[in-house]
Structure 1
Amino acid sequence: MSAQEMIVLAMQASVMATVFGFGLTATLDDMLYVVRRPRRFARSFVAMFFVMPIVAIAPDKTFEFRHEIEVALVALALSPVPPLLLKKGGKAGGRASYALGLLVTMAILSLVVLPLGMRLLELVFDRSFALQPVAVIKVILKSIILPLAAGMAVRVLVSATAARFAGPLVTLGNLLLVAVALLVVFNSRNAIMALIGNGTLLAIAVFVVVGLAAGHWLGGPELEDRVVLGLSTASRHPGIALTLASFNYPNEHGVTAAIMLYLLVNIALSMPYVIWQQRRAAATSQSPDPAA
């Protein structure tokens, strides 16, 4: 097994543990939250699967990235949100049911949207994105859909025990992802530094900022929904992008470096947004009720 394959496997394991943990506390109403609200579903789809692919490919007109870097950015734009978003959104005061429902809905949609979206971008922008649809489907099924379904099944069978294990599993998944990310960043530090001066860093920063802004704006009037969609639009599943890279560019370390750089930039730029939303939520909760 190559180092690239081990990285992808470790990331998938971390995500699976996290999703399974959330599944131990999730309900059917949580999973169906988005599809039962058509307008919210439409706004979420536009933000995540229409705005972001355009944002991902537009900078190439200015910076002329290497092709594999462009593929990595587009794959991130078309990938579903990472499960770690659930915890991040909760800390910022986001609606938990919306976050979980969005994760499930977009993961299922991405089984179709990612291959078709890649093909559409090829036609519109005259690009060639090598794609392995079977690999993408396997990643989404293994890392999100099946672990979540398994967690919910365990919850139905042994609800009292399931609740006790949910927190530790989520923590384990988070720690594993952090450990893998730190290891990859350290090993890829030279490749990451090489990307900072060629426009890749700026393009990734724009990707994250536009994602936060577009999701926040399309999130609707309620603050807790804006937080969830803002973070969801800016945060994408690195495992899928890494899987695409391993199939199409097995000896190209620049793709892995670009995805790791995205993770670092996403964390750095999302933290101020989360803190801002925490303060707004706290101020709103402390405001006196005018009807009182």
Structure 2
Amino acid sequence: MNAREVIALALQASIIVTVFGFGLKATREDVLYVFERPMHLVRSVLAMFVIMPVIAVVLAQSFDFRHPVEVALVALAISPVPPLLPRKHKKAGGQVSYGLGLMVTMAVLSLAFIPLALHLLGLFYDKSYATPPAAIAKIVFTAAVLPLLAGMLCGRLFPKRAQAIAAPAILVGKFLLPIAGVAILIAAHRALGALLGDGTLVAIVVFVAIALVVGHALGGPDPEERGVLALSTACRHPGIAIAIATANAADPNDHQSSAAIMLYLVVSIIATVPYVRWQSRRLDPPN
């Protein structure tokens, strides 16, 4: 096993452990929160799977991107909610149930949406875009659905033990993820450096800012739910985005698409911090 495989394994492990930790505390009502609220479902799908892909295409047309960067931006726009996001929802004072339900709902819908979106994009660009559905399904189920269901099952069968290990499990994932992320950035530093002077960074910042505005505007009247949808619209699943970008790369040995996606991950983490703080102050103003 080489260094890149070890890093990828650490990243996957951090996501799985964290989602399992969420599952230990999650309930059936959490998982079905969005499905049982049709307007939440409509607004969420509109923000994440309709408006943002259009924004990605507009940005790709407006900036003179190289093909790998264009593919990366579009891949991010059609990827679902990252499994680690519910923790950030909580920091922003958002509805934890909405966050967990949105994660599961968007993951399941992505199995049908991603192939459809790639087909439509292929028609628009007059190119053939495709990603093996099995590859997407594998990532969705191993990183989101199965760990969550396993955690919920353990929480139901062994409630006392589940409460005891939930916090440590989430803590392990919390520290393992940034370590793996830094290692990935170091490994891709050459490709990453090539992206900083061609407008890619500016486009990513613009994309994240627009996503926050779109999600907040469509989040509904409840400020807690607005924060959840805003963050979910701005932050996307890097594993699925990389799978899409890799499958549609002109050169399989070109790592610029993966580097652009990792750059997006870093920018989205940094750029959403002011929004989280602002949202937290709005919901819990100082005395």
Q: TM-score, normalised by structure 1?
A: 0.92
The Cα shift of 1:74 comes to 1.5
Give the equivalent residue in structure 1 for 2:262.
260
C-alpha distance in structure 1 between counterparts of 2:243 and 2:7, whole Å = 10
The Cα shift of 1:159 comes to 0.8
Give the equivalent residue in structure 2 for 1:170.
170
C-alpha distance in structure 1 between counterparts of 2:131 and 2:6, whole Å = 20
Q: 1:132 to 1:68 in 2, by over 3 A?
A: farther
Aligned 1:131-170 pairs, distance under 5 A: 131-170=131-170
User: Between the two proteins, what is the percent identity of the paired residues?
Assistant: 51
| Partner AA of 1:44 in structure 2 | S
1:272 and 2:274 matched = yes
Indicate conservation of the 8 Å contact 1:71/1:129, yes or no: no
| Partner AA of 1:185 in structure 2 | L
| Partner AA of 2:91 in structure 1 | K
C-alpha distance in structure 2 between counterparts of 1:80 and 1:62, whole Å = 24
C-alpha distance in structure 2 between counterparts of 1:71 and 1:246, whole Å = 9
Q: 1:7 to 1:64 in 2, by over 3 A?
A: farther
Report the more deviating stretch, 130-139 or 39-48: 130-139
| Partner AA of 1:11 in structure 2 | L
Give the equivalent residue in structure 1 for 2:241.
241
Give the equivalent residue in structure 2 for 1:112.
112
| Alpha-carbon displacement from aligned partner over 1:26-48 (angstroms, at most 9, x marks no partner) | 00000111111101110011000
Indicate conservation of the 8 Å contact 2:245/2:257, yes or no: yes
Indicate conservation of the 8 Å contact 1:11/1:239, yes or no: no
The Cα shift of 1:246 comes to 4.3
C-alpha distance in structure 2 between counterparts of 1:66 and 1:8, whole Å = 26
Aligned 1:176-195 pairs, distance under 5 A: 176-195=176-195
| Partner AA of 1:275 in structure 2 | R
Give the equivalent residue in structure 2 for 1:41.
41
Report the more deviating stretch, 180-189 or 159-168: 180-189
The Cα shift of 1:223 comes to 0.7
C-alpha distance in structure 1 between counterparts of 2:111 and 2:84, whole Å = 20
C-alpha distance in structure 2 between counterparts of 1:5 and 1:56, whole Å = 30
Aligned 1:24-63 pairs, distance under 5 A: 24-63=24-63
| Partner AA of 1:134 in structure 2 | A
The Cα shift of 1:183 comes to 1.1
| Partner AA of 2:257 in structure 1 | V
Give the equivalent residue in structure 2 for 1:229.
229
Give the equivalent residue in structure 2 for 1:282.
284
Give the equivalent residue in structure 2 for 1:210.
210
Q: TM-score, normalised by structure 2?
A: 0.94
Give the equivalent residue in structure 2 for 1:290.
none
Give the equivalent residue in structure 2 for 1:121.
121
* SS of residue in 2 equivalent to 1:190: helix
C-alpha distance in structure 1 between counterparts of 2:30 and 2:97, whole Å = 5
The Cα shift of 1:245 comes to 3.9
| Alpha-carbon displacement from aligned partner over 1:233-291 (angstroms, at most 9, x marks no partner) | 000111112233444544112112101110111012100000101111112x86xxxxx
Report the more deviating stretch, 269-278 or 168-177: 168-177
Cα RMSD of the aligned pairs, angstroms, is 1.7
Indicate conservation of the 8 Å contact 1:89/1:227, yes or no: yes
Report the more deviating stretch, 181-190 or 149-158: 181-190
C-alpha distance in structure 1 between counterparts of 2:104 and 2:168, whole Å = 22
| Partner AA of 1:51 in structure 2 | I
C-alpha distance in structure 1 between counterparts of 2:80 and 2:198, whole Å = 27
| Partner AA of 2:277 in structure 1 | I
Q: Note the residue ranges of structure 1 that are not aligned, 5 or more in a row.
A: 287-292
| Alpha-carbon displacement from aligned partner over 1:67-112 (angstroms, at most 9, x marks no partner) | 2222221121111111221011101100111001100111100111
Give the equivalent residue in structure 2 for 1:219.
219
| Alpha-carbon displacement from aligned partner over 1:135-168 (angstroms, at most 9, x marks no partner) | 1111101110111111111111101101111111
